[in-house]
Chain A
Amino acid sequence: MARDKDIVLEVKNLYKLYGVNRNAAMELLKKGAGRSEVLKQTGVTAAVNNVSFEVERGKIFVLIGLSGSGKSTVVRCINMLQNPTAGSILFEGQDVRKLKKKELLDFRRHKVSMVFQNYGLMSHRDVLGNVAYGLEVRGVPREEREARAHEIIDMVGLSGWEKKNPSELSGGMRQRVGIARALANDPDVLLMDEPFSALDPLVRRDMQFELLTIQRKMNKTILFITHDIDEAFKLGDRIGIMRDGQLIQVGTAEEMTSNPADEYVRDFIDSADRSRVFCAKNVMETPSSLIRVSDGATKALSAMRRSGVSSSYVIDEKMVLVGILTLEDAMKAKAENTPIAQYIIQDIERVAPDALLADIMPQAARTRFPLAVVDSEGHLEGIISKAAVLSSLT
């Protein structure tokens, strides 16, 4: 199969076992035994059990799973904070496990940076000193690294706080420092282990938004860990679900929702607040009848009768939405023998294709017609009935 995707990071058959009797445990795992069975028979914890996935450049890959499912262990193997028991971790084709000591240091200094759940900031350094740390160990001269740190601090919205101690900052601000510190190195890949889990929900939303902004601006590849399905769906271009050390399913949010691999995945997805996951284009349907402005009343009436609807959207020659025509109005127009144009209701609710369901719900409740999904040029892309909005949430 030809590779048209640009894969930065590839994890292949990764295993990480904790315990003494690892060889025996490995045998069992290869025979298909589960984590609890292996633990019972050999006393070995299979933290990561045969995990493989790929991360595309410039994308956000999210690993999600319950506590203890092995997410942290996977990311910590990627920068070798933990030494895998078996398998390979290919960074741009090079196996990280085969790096020599010096090469590993270089890999950590230039290629990957990590953001920690509890920030991992150094309380004996101010914000500037923390952000510049990565460059400092790399040997970048003071002036240069501080200039760079200032730049990044600015970008994460912390200018003016450079001289503060991390302990003087709020949680959200601390994690901004953590992110700035990771970005200062200009790494290819950002590893983020539940970076927002310690933040309260409002701050968390801001940070997610900001991360997306930063990611688009700097085009970073991110491996993001969370146990929150909403966060995963919001951030992840692709998502991997882990259970008991295994990666059960990998796919986009839509793929996963429409086709969950098993009950565990389904449960996870069910726990999501779908209104924050789905957007208009996920639930819209093609209108069963469409009328052109140039059509006569008779043609409009027959189109509506054919599809059994009491109203229909009207578009112009370029597919741009003009408005809506009801069955009654069409009959009036026919009786008066006038063009339908003057009966078209133009004041209707329009939504963008990527509007979140949560945001369009009030509009859906307000209108007596289905919502029209239009792109930025006003082309009609689809419609959403009130029923569709509600049913997509359950």
Chain B
Amino acid sequence: MPNWIASFPDTIKINIATPIDNFVEYINVNWRPFFDGIKTGLLGLLNGVYAVVEFIPWWLLIAIVFALTWLLMKKPLRAVLYAVLMLLIGILGLWSYMQLTLSIVIAAVLMAIIIGFPIGVLVSTSNHANALVRPILDTMQTMPSFVYLIPAVMLLGIGNVPAIIATTIYAIPPVIRMTNHGIRHVDKEVVEAAQSFGSTRWQTLVKVQIPQAMPTIMAGLNQTIMMALSMVVTCSLIGARGLGHEVVIGINRLEIGRGFTAGLCVVILAVIIDRLTQGIYKTEAGDDHGKG
């Protein structure tokens, strides 16, 4: 029996790893200033966000969570529960780690909105753009999250800044998708009404389509935030600090308790952020159910 029937023949082999490496190498050398610029910008963003987050005293943040829960969900017990959970993060000694994780998430989500929202709007207005972007988004969403770590590390090294990049890229699809979806599915008659009164395309978009699509866009934003939070934890593999880093240390040193504690705090943060952002877009959607 010839060898090539049993196992794949050695002679048919294309190596794509090397060209990719070369490409990255090339970019690294020739685009250095560009990436340095990005790095500085993102670092500035992160520091800004972190300054704000750090400025908020622990009791105020807990009070904010309490008040928001009460206001948005009208459930006093839930508000108490979330406040206690937040308090627990502090009691477990991970408050400052939580602050950093939160800051990276906020920075990445801001980036995802700044980049993703305009793309979503553009894609909603053009079928060509949609045909181009959709498969990319599909691919991105099936790609394992670790994969995003590689280019980030390659181009920006390790630390919090590449973590923001990887997180932004990983978490951007829902913003684009839901913005696109929301705008495309605005009641046709409402859009036509806007046009029939002589709205320009821009006026139609800004005064009617985007506001009408807001509940959907917010749902997308909620997904993006949740994905960002999970990615920030993954990013501790490339040196991002915060709660995820604690988990990694816990794994590396087999300190199960330490890892578990940090993991618990991630879950608390995730649940609270999820419910609060959902609360925001659900009340918004609830106010104008049954499109007039």
Contact = CB atoms under 8 A, between A and B. Distances in A.
Most buried by B among A113, A133, A137: A137
B212 interface: yes
Given A118-B189, A120-B189, A122-B190, A105 B198 contact: yes
Interface in A112-134: 112-114, 116-124, 130, 133-134
Interface string A155-175: 000000000011101000010
Interface in A96-149: 104-110, 112-114, 116-124, 130, 133-134, 136-138
A122 B196 CA distance: 13
B189 A113 contact: no
A113 B194 CA distance: 10
A106 to B, nearest CB: 7
Most buried by B among A105, A107, A177: A105
A121 B292 contact: yes
A166 to B, nearest CB: 3
A209 B232 CA distance: 64
A138 B198 contact: yes
Nearest to A129: B207
B181 to A, nearest CB: 17
B10 interface: no
B141 interface: no
B18 interface: no
A167 B288 contact: yes
A122 B208 contact: yes
Contacts of A81: 192, 195-196
B190 A114 contact: no
Contacts of A106: 198
A135 to B, nearest CB: 9
A117 B198 CA distance: 19
Nearest to B199: A137
B19 interface: no
B186 to A, nearest CB: 10
B197 A133 contact: yes
Contacts of A109: 197-198
B289 interface: yes
A185 interface: yes
Contacts of B190: 120-123
Interface in B198-229: 198-200, 203, 207-208, 211-212, 214
Contacts of B194: 122, 133, 137
A156 B193 CA distance: 19
Most buried by A among B187, B195, B198, B207: B198
Given A118-B187, A137-B200, A167-B291, 5 more contacts: A106-B198, A113-B197, A114-B193, A123-B292, A137-B198
Interface of A: 79, 81, 104-110, 112-114, 116-124, 130, 133-134, 136-138, 165-167, 169, 174, 177, 181, 185, 191
Interface of B: 187, 189-190, 192-200, 203, 207-208, 211-212, 214, 287-292
25 contacts: A81-B192, A81-B195, A107-B198, A108-B197, A110-B198, A112-B196, A114-B192, A116-B189, A116-B192, A117-B189, A118-B189, A120-B192, A121-B190, A122-B193, A122-B194, A123-B290, A124-B211, A124-B212, A124-B214, A124-B288, A137-B197, A137-B207, A165-B287, A177-B292, A181-B193
- Closest 8 A/B residue pairs (Cβ): A166-B292, A120-B193, A109-B198, A108-B198, A121-B292, A123-B288, A134-B197, A114-B196
